[in-house]
């Protein structure tokens, strides 16, 4: 299953006077941190509202410093659950946006047009053409090449048998 994940980021910017200027600088700063590794992440201005439901500017400015709400959107391929897609998105984006808090806002399951997942040419996670659970562990790829789909629980009894011999 493929999912579109939207993550909210609180980006600090300095020496700004207007909310528009703060948003422009925050988008530029975030794009610089994500590129070239995550150039496929879409960056948009976030939205904020007061507790009463009133729409607020995406930037909060105090003493020429601002905290800007941005929404970062990416598509995660070949995941088993929506929670797995959220963890992958937070990990990938969070590694590049150091010291910037992130919160998952939305997870949308995308309908695939392919009838056979093995022919999916946009899949970056499976380089050998096999399907996996979306984890980036090379060890899990090695254990599933025999076609049995072994997972970590299946490895323990075999290991115990080796110790008994």
pLDDT (0 to 100) of residue 39:
87
Q: How confident is the model at residue 138 (pLDDT cuts 50, 70, 90)?
A: very low
- Asked if residue 78 belongs to a domain, the reply is yes
Average pLDDT over residues 82-96: 94
Which are the contacts of 80, defined by CB distance < 8 A and separation ≥ 6? 1, 133, 134
- Residues 104, 139: one domain? no
- Residues 28, 91: one domain? yes
69 token code pair: 């709400």
The domain total for the chain is 2
pLDDT (0 to 100) of residue 159:
53
- Residues 80, 149: one domain? no
- Residues 109, 56: one domain? yes
Provide the Cα torsion 57, 58, 59, 60; round to 10°. Answer: 70
Which are the contacts of 89, defined by CB distance < 8 A and separation ≥ 6? 5, 7, 74, 76, 104
**Under 8 Å between Cβ of 97 and 34:** yes
What gap in Å lies between CA 147 and CA 63, rounded to an integer? 61
Average pLDDT over residues 34-60: 90
pLDDT (0 to 100) of residue 4:
96
- Residues 29, 82: one domain? yes
- Residues 45, 98: one domain? yes
- Asked if residue 45 belongs to a domain, the reply is yes
pLDDT (0 to 100) of residue 164:
58
For residue 164, the enclosing domain spans 135-165
- Residues 17, 67: one domain? yes
- Residues 104, 144: one domain? no
- Asked if residue 130 belongs to a domain, the reply is no
- Indicate yes or no: pTM above 0.95: no
DSSP letter (8 states) at residue 117: G
Domain CATH for 40: 3.30.70
Which are the contacts of 38, defined by CB distance < 8 A and separation ≥ 6? 74, 92, 93, 96
Residue 112 reports pLDDT greater than 50 = yes
- Residues 49, 105: one domain? yes
Return the higher-pLDDT residue of 47 and 155.
47
- Residues 77, 154: one domain? no
- Residues 100, 144: one domain? no
- Residues 156, 80: one domain? no
């Amino acid at each position: 299953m493929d999912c579109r994940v939207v993550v909210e980021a609180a980006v600090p910017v300095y020496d700004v006077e207007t909310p528009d200027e703060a948003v422009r600088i925050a988008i530029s700063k975030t794009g610089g941190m994500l590129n070239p590794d995550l150039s496929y992440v879409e960056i948009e201005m976030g939205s904020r509202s007061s507790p009463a439901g009133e729409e607020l500017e995406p930037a909060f400015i105090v003493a020429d410093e601002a905290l800007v709400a941005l929404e970062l959107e990416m598509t995660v391929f070949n995941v088993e659950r929506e929670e797995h897609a959220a963890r992958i998105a937070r990990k990938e984006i969070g590694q590049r946006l150091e010291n910037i808090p992130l919160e998952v806002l939305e997870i949308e399951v995308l309908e695939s047009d392919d009838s056979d997942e093995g022919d999916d040419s946009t899949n970056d996670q499976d380089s050998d053409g096999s399907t996996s659970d979306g984890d980036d562990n090379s060890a899990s790829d090695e254990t599933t090449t025999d076609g049995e789909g072994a997972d970590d629980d299946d490895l323990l009894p075999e290991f115990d048998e080796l110790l008994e011999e």
